[in-house]
Amino acid sequence: MASRIRLEDRECPLSTTVQHVGEWWTLLILHDAFDGYTRFDQFQESLGISSSMLTTRLKTLVADGLLERRPYQTSPVRHEYVLTDLGRSLRPVVVALAAWGNSRLAPAERSMILIDAQSGEEVEPVVVDAGTGRRLDDSDAYVFAAGPAAGDAMRLRYAHRATAPAEA
């Protein structure tokens, strides 16, 4: 698959992340994997995706290190696709995307909600700063800035903002 990322965005974490998970089917496959699906036929039945498209997407997810392909049967050999630690680390991102989608709907219009597995109560996911617990949705209080590894283009983009603290 040809890269859609612009040369000047290669150091941008948002651009490089979207290159890996920004495709429609990729996010839906990951969503199914978070729900416990591991087998080709499970993904295909759940998503209604063509075999060739699913094969391509699964190969990409394996190559990107988000899923691991493991044999679960020997005769004939069949494989399952299991989330790696890197793949599991994307769950909060998918949860946040689903929450954003639900936030635009009335509660009665939501077809999928996130609940506390123990209490069954609906929860409202938010993204917070790990250090302070403050919500990060205030774009005046939290802004992007050039980090320690930023190249010239990134430094120029954020020249009007404070830079990240230097590493010790």
pLDDT tens, 39-90? 999 999 999 999 999 999 999 999 999 999 999 999 999 999 999 999 999 9
Residue 110 pLDDT more than 60?
A: yes
Rounded Cα–Cα distance for residues 124 and 126 (Å) = 6
pTM: 0.79
Residue 8 pLDDT more than 60?
A: no
81: Cβ contacts below 8 Å, ≥ 6 apart? 33, 38, 39, 40, 43, 58, 61, 62, 67, 68, 69, 70
Among 58-62, 106-110, 138-142, which is the least confidently predicted range? 138-142
Rounded Cα–Cα distance for residues 32 and 77 (Å) = 23
The tokens for 46 are 């759940």
